[in-house]
Amino acid sequence: MSEKQSARIYVKDLPLMETKVWIKRGIKIINPIVVIGLPGLGRIGGIISRYLIKKLNTRLVGIVTSPYFSNQVIVSRKGIARITGVKMYKSENTLGSSDLLLVTADEHLENIWGEYDVALKMLRFLVKRGVKLIVTVGGHVSATESRGVIGFASRKELLRMLEEAGCRRAEMGTPVVGLSGIILGLSSIIGVDAVCILGETVSVRPDAEGSREVLNVLNKFLGLNIDVSDFQREEERINEIISRYESKVKQLIQGEKARKIAEAFMPPDYVS
């Protein structure tokens, strides 16, 4: 064995030990409009991303890996494992002279430093490609049973456009935690146009109704002109997942020992 073959690879040398944006060779991204939907409250961001990725003729063009994501891999239906991270899809459709990027993730980062690190690396990547607008979508805790849509923006003109699209202005002090909020906040600092659209929800479980309300506002705000009537199938799929989950939980809680396990059992993540 040669000296080169026997050389050790140290952990500090691995590129995955830092947040990194990976893009497929030959991919060009021009003045993108970016829609970011991450799994979170009501799984609204993840649900919308999944739907638009299918609807808008997209292909996976890049990923963002980071040691700040949890220490697990996602196994596909075909039994293939992949590391958790952010996924970026490019649509075949364009919005004027801008490419359309759809960004989602397998999970939320639990580390504050990690959220800032991932947000900054993503923003640097997008700024170099002349990003025109960033839109983040997600869920927001509702004090009532209403399913309204609230939003805020980096500029008054954008906020006015949101309101015209059917979005209610967020009240002063409304918090938006996580990567979606940090990206929007940092965008304002560096001068990148950004808006946030949140669907009011009352549960951590997948909220199809709240997702549909946000989708309608997003469709009008960006002028996507897509027919969302088939979103009903996505709602049916979500409700089926919830039904199966609740059925399993009921089976578990029949025994005292199993009941204790079920109490610590978390709702399923809405991941692809």
| In a shared domain, residues 85 and 181 | yes
| In a shared domain, residues 208 and 260 | no
Which pLDDT value is given to residue 192?
A: 95
pLDDT, tens digit (0-9, with 9 covering 90-100), for 246-256: 566 566 556 55
Q: Nearest-CA neighbor of 63 among 104, 11, 28?
A: 104
pLDDT, tens digit (0-9, with 9 covering 90-100), for 93-133: 999 999 999 999 988 777 888 899 999 999 999 999 999 99
Tell me the pLDDT of the chain averaged across its residues.
83
Q: How confident is the model at residue 193 (pLDDT cuts 50, 70, 90)?
A: very high
| In a shared domain, residues 89 and 21 | yes
Lowest mean pLDDT among 18-32, 43-57, 231-245: 231-245
H or E element, residue 207: none
Mean pLDDT of 81-96: 92
DSSP state of 43: G
The answer as to whether 1 is a domain residue is: no
Question: Which structural domain, as residue segments, surrounds residue 166?
Answer: 13-228
pLDDT, tens digit (0-9, with 9 covering 90-100), for 8-21: 545 555 666 789 99
Give the whole-number percent of the chain exceeding pLDDT 90.
44
Q: Is the pLDDT of residue 35 over 90?
A: yes
| In a shared domain, residues 148 and 248 | no
The answer as to whether 272 is a domain residue is: no
Which pLDDT value is given to residue 4?
A: 41
Mean pLDDT of 222-236: 83
The answer as to whether 263 is a domain residue is: yes
Mean pLDDT of 238-265: 61
Is the backbone of residue 225 left (phi > 0), alpha (psi -120 to 50) or beta? left
The answer as to whether 4 is a domain residue is: no
Q: How confident is the model at residue 5 (pLDDT cuts 50, 70, 90)?
A: very low
Domain of residue 66, CATH code: 3.40.50.10900
Query: Over 97-148, what HEC string results?
Result: CEEEEEEEECCCCCCHHHHHHHHHHHHHHHHHCCCCEEEEEEEEECCCCCCC
Token look-up 């996602």 returns: 74
Q: Which amino acid is at 40?
A: G
Which pLDDT value is given to residue 270?
A: 42
Q: How confident is the model at residue 3 (pLDDT cuts 50, 70, 90)?
A: very low
Q: How many beta carbons lie within 10 A of that of residue 263, not counting itself?
A: 10
For the chain, how many structural domains are there in total? 2
Which pLDDT value is given to residue 91?
A: 96
Residue-wise burial string across 118-156, b where 16 or more C-beta atoms lie within 10 A, e elsewhere: bbebbbebbeebebbbbbbbbbbebeeeebebbbbbbee
For the entire predicted model, the pTM comes to 0.82
